[in-house]
A = this chain, B = another copy of it.
């Protein structure tokens, strides 16, 4: 499991050292190339993914054919299509590696067994989801509140290293506007 996940779990609950090695056996380690796909719309999403390093994105394809990225997940983040994963029904999102990434996959059935064997992890996942829930409340507020230009400025201030890491057209997609408009904002900013 390498240490990233063990450390992450221990930030939320305490686990005896001996259990860690056993818990690791529930996960499958994946090595993804840039642009490699983890999940495609229409398939059942059978795993929840923990990013050890690299970067994933969650996106869907709009009616006009363009891809809309709604979430990124970097080091120490979990990502999956929860509607698909939790109910084991077809996904409405895609998951793709933005960069070369190392990921730990926890399949639905493995998660069930894992939680039965280590109920303390129910707490871990409760806390993870609770944080995600809290984050969505902010995210949603942010989507209501900010003009596209503000969204860009705020995001650049909040995550300057991250902005460096991804191509502009992905950033534009994530922020919910067109690459053309992003160009315009950047031009305005310089002057």
Contact = CB atoms under 8 A, between A and B. Distances in A.
Interface of A: 58, 60, 62, 68, 70-71, 81-83, 86, 92-93, 115, 119, 122-123, 125-126, 129-134, 136-141, 143-145, 176
Contacts of A68: 141, 144-145
A138 B83 contact: yes
B140 A140 contact: yes
B130 A86 contact: yes
Contact of A132 (B92, B129, B144): B129
5 contacts: A68-B141, A125-B130, A126-B129, A133-B133, A140-B140
Contacts of A71: 137, 140
A160 B83 CA distance: 23
Number of copies: 2
Given A93-B137, A137-B70, A176-B144, A130 B82 contact: yes
Given A62-B145, A126-B129, A129-B130, A140 B70 contact: yes
Contacts of A138: 83
A119 B92 CA distance: 33
Contacts of A58: 137
A125 B122 CA distance: 9
A181 to B, nearest CB: 15
Contacts of A126: 122-123, 125-126, 129
Given A119-B119, A122-B122, A122-B123, A133 B141 contact: no
A129 B139 CA distance: 16
A138 B71 CA distance: 12
